[in-house]
A and B are shown apart, each in its own frame.
Chain A
Amino acid sequence: MKQFAQLIEKLDSTNKTNQKVAALASYFEEANEEDKLWTMAILSHRRPPRPVNTTLLRSYAAELAEIPLWLFEESYHIVGDLAESIALVVPNDIHSSDKSLSTILDELVLLKPKTDLEKKKYVQDMWMQLDYYSRFVFTKFLTGSFRIGISQKLMTKALSQVTSVPQDELAYRLMGDWEPGTTTFDELVFGRNEQAYVSKPYPFYLAYALENELEELGDVTEWVAEHKWDGIRGQVIARKGEIFVWSRGEELVTDKYPEIAALVNFLPDGIVIDGEILAFIDGQIGLFNDLQTRIGRKNVSKGILQKVPVIFKAYDLLESNGEDIRAFSYVERRALLEDLVQKTNHPALHISEQMQFSSWEEVTAERELSRDKRSEGLMLKKKSASYQVGRKKGDWWKWKTDPLTIDAVLTYAMRGHGRRTNLFTDYTFGLWQPNEAGELELVTFAKAYSGLTDKEFAKVDSIIKKTTLERFGPVRSVTPTLVFELAFEGIAFSNRHKSGVAVRFPRILRWRQDKKIEDANTLDDLKALIPE
């Protein structure tokens, strides 16, 4: 554990990517096989299931620190990270544990079914026996996703340096359905486990947002365009008589979308399709908002299947007849995909319409139609492009529609997390709406916490501290004085929101210091943006 904690401390102690990679590489050279495997699992978000809920963890920590629970909670609001708060408050005198990373993680796997009393003893003992960084890392395992600013890409890079396996190949090997209990380091990195490969997806090819003028892409006839559909990016895999549906977040979602799983009897063997899971209601592509009602559900009821049916809109073909065809050109893959979709002829499998243009002006005109077609904008793909690994520039670009915007008033603020610890950076915004007496009041409609510079955040933070009305734990209500222009991607009516409206990806476009709160928009202005 100490070795892993030291790695995390080293990664924390530098802002330079090269040094992070070097620290990871030297760790991978020194650590034992089991620890290496667990490290790869943790850094690719495969931590053991949470063995203790966080309410219990808080009470264990407060007890050990001999402070009242409210004081622990207040500290947590300020520190901004639960694991870090715990590591900071519990007393730390004996650093006797030299358990390895893999031993501890194996113990955590076994901890889940135990009684609360056993859990408490184990967790408190561990806290007392670990040094500060080990305790922080250990608690991170308990509290949730292990996000510490180390991307999977960075880890893959370091691993590639140590193993000499190319990065793209490693990215592929680390995808899909594996955990430290089901494989070994050698098997995962060098070997080939047939069973695991049946369900394994390919790394997604992702596009950057278009940076330059369209004309700079060159000859328009070398490109095709598609609409950028607003659902869940996914891969459908048909191998050995089985079907697997993966989301881009590397979550296996086959059971959540039985409409797509039904393709198992229609697709030929050895097929991997890249596409988008979309709500499809009354013969029309649904809004992301519709799809959202299905995302969180474990059990898919008949009612919801009828209300929000889904389809898979195919973008690309990555494997055909059991062969990895990612190196083929887009045009070649597209021909095979069209052929496949046509032959499969199934109502849940659609193909994303491909468009060819003779001028960039036509492309621009098509983008204007995006909102009506319920897409987020256009994807531009080069005909000669292979299917690449991860986010790459050059051959694929996304060109989203300009966001919708509205001027709103800041009403509540919450302390941020991570590098915004101890600063009020998460805001709630309201729009004007007449109440029963006909007086205008602010109705909350969105939260946003990105879009300002560090300097602006610092200024807004100090205004919030000066204009605080009430405190509710980490949240403060403020006297409304600040107006911000908010941007968002989509908008729909919603009965889950107080305002009756749901907006997608709200973020701060700019601080309107030139506007008074009376100049902000009304809720009716917002509703007028909702498409028919």
Chain B
Amino acid sequence: MKHSDLLIFNSKGIYCPKAQIYIDPWRPVKNAIITHGHSDHARFGHKNYLTHHSNIPIIRHRLGEINVRGIEWNEPFHINGVTFSLHPAGHIIGSSQVRVEHKGEVWVFTGDYKTEDDGVCTPYEPIKCNTMITECTFGLPAFKWKPQADVFEEINEWWQSNKDEGKTSVLFGYTLGKAQRILMHLDPSIGKIFTHGAVENMTEILRPQLNMPETHLITRETSPKEILGNVVIAPPSAHGTPWMRKMVPFETGTCSGWMAFRGARARRATDKGFVLSDHCDWQGLLQSIKESEATRVICTHGYTDIFSKYLREIGYDASIENTDYEGEKEDTSVTETIQSA
């Protein structure tokens, strides 16, 4: 870190010394800009939260009564001569990149992001900058996503064929983001969509903002017969728990970028792996960096050492900073605690 850097990394988070404000801090601070609602970015205990307005219902749901101000995309605000603005990151609904400008120098923190338009959240927008702080959760050339239309075609075919065989399809994905993305692309003409409580709660919160098909919460009263042949969306942590008994006979499918690896599928003991991520793949990362026209790149989480080494080799001033962000965790069973069953 250079002395004059617009953003620095300290023990609490990404900090702008000139404006005295943090971005996605992992320790309690006075003023925090929050890129999105996942728990490694939006944490409890800050005095003032600043985030895109579509993220407010999410973090209110997760963090309770907090002091939060919502802003629009591209709506600049000034703190002590530093200009900040939020721009869509395309990761999940309400996810932003943060643009920071001071005396003509521009920094961008991407937060978590993906370049493909998922039809759920406002699509990613490349922002020109001098220094880009980027995640690289999937920063290896082995990660190459298929267009989501292909993946959802596979998912719907899988559901249909399970149904034809008299089985229920259980799909695992993060409660915030992935679950709604799945929901919006399932084909409701195949059958009913059931949900786990954690998924249902989050979906309910997001309904005013998204036009999603009808869901049916699985409760104590739900009979196995009602569920049979339909699809169930559940958080990965529900896999292998007694909660699943009601769905027998079932096939399981996991939606995650890690499903690109056969080993990861085997370890998860999931029947079917669908490669579906809310992060950039290798080309997505490289393309975004190129479009930003940044000369300096700071990598925060993911395969940072490999990715930054490659960036240096192709001519960027690339370095690594340690953060507490986790990206899409491979072992999703420990990522999300079910908020209510």
Q: A: which residues have CB within 8 A of B?
A: 12-16, 65, 67-68, 71-72, 74-75, 78-81, 84-85, 88-89, 149, 416-423, 454, 458
Contact = CB atoms under 8 A, between A and B. Distances in A.
A79 B271 contact: no
B263 A88 contact: no
Contacts of B291: none
Nearest to B272: A13
Contact of B142 (A12, A78, A419): A78
A143 to B, nearest CB: 14
Given A74-B306, A84-B261, A84-B262, A421 B141 contact: no
A512 B261 CA distance: 32
Contacts of A420: 263, 267
B263 A421 contact: yes
Given A67-B141, A422-B330, A13 B271 contact: yes
B269 interface: yes
B254 to A, nearest CB: 11
B267 A85 contact: no
A420 B268 CA distance: 10
Given A13-B272, A421-B261, A88 B267 contact: no
B144 A15 contact: no
Given A14-B272, A416-B263, A418-B266, 4 more contacts: A81-B263, A88-B141, A89-B144, A421-B267
A421 B142 contact: no
9 contacts: A12-B262, A13-B271, A74-B306, A75-B140, A79-B263, A80-B261, A419-B266, A419-B267, A420-B263
Interface size on B, as a range, is 20 to 34
Interface string B248-278: 0001000000001111111101111100000
A16 B270 CA distance: 10
Contacts of A81: 262-263
A15 B303 contact: no
A70 B276 CA distance: 27
Nearest to A417: B263
Contacts of B251: 14
Give me the 3 closest cross-chain CB pairs, A-B, nearest first: A421-B263, A419-B266, A88-B142
Contacts of A89: 141-142, 144
Contacts of A78: 140, 142, 303
Interface residues of A, dominant DSSP: helix
B243 interface: no
Contacts of B117: none
B5 interface: no
Contact of A15 (B140, B142, B269): B269
B310 interface: yes
Contacts of B310: 67-68, 71
B65 interface: no
A89 B141 CA distance: 6
A88 B144 contact: yes
B244 to A, nearest CB: 14
A14 B271 contact: yes
A419 B263 contact: yes
Nearest to B303: A78
Nearest to A80: B263
B331 interface: yes
B142 A75 contact: yes
Nearest to B140: A75
A334 B267 CA distance: 46
A15 B271 contact: yes
B260 A88 contact: yes
B313 interface: yes
Nearest to B258: A422
A391 to B, nearest CB: 23
A124 to B, nearest CB: 16
Nearest to B146: A132
B272 to A, nearest CB: 5
Contacts of A88: 141-144, 260
B187 to A, nearest CB: 20
Contact of A85 (B142, B269, B271, B330): B142
